[in-house]
Amino acid sequence: MQFTIIARDDTAAGTLDRRLAARDKHMERIHAMKAEGSVIDGGALLDGAGNMIGSVVLCEFPDRAALDHYIKSEIYYTDGVWKDIEVLPFRRVQWR
């Protein structure tokens, strides 16, 4: 199943610092998951000033339970960066 994760960062003081401290580990894992096919694409959500305020991840997992396992193990989640997480099923367009 394909999913869109829209994860908005906590608005508490220090969240951006936590995000930046965890970013290298987050990106390393995202790149590995992209190579294995479970992450399709993604990127940072930005505010009007260009500051990172969240993430969007397009991903594919066998089921919602596998997706939930990923989210609960994601460093942005475990380090308290992601606060409000919305998950939407989606279907990727098959380009010719």
pLDDT tens for residues 67-77? 999 999 999 99
Q: Which pLDDT score, from 0 to 100, does residue 90 have?
A: 94
Identify the CATH assignment for 2-89 out of 3.40.309.10, 3.40.50.1370, 3.30.70.1060, 3.40.640.10: 3.30.70.1060
pLDDT in tens, 31-66: 999 999 999 999 999 999 999 999 999 999 999 999
Q: Which of 41, 56, 44 is nearest to 6 (CA)?
A: 56
Does the pLDDT at position 93 exceed 90?
no
Does the pLDDT at position 8 exceed 90?
yes
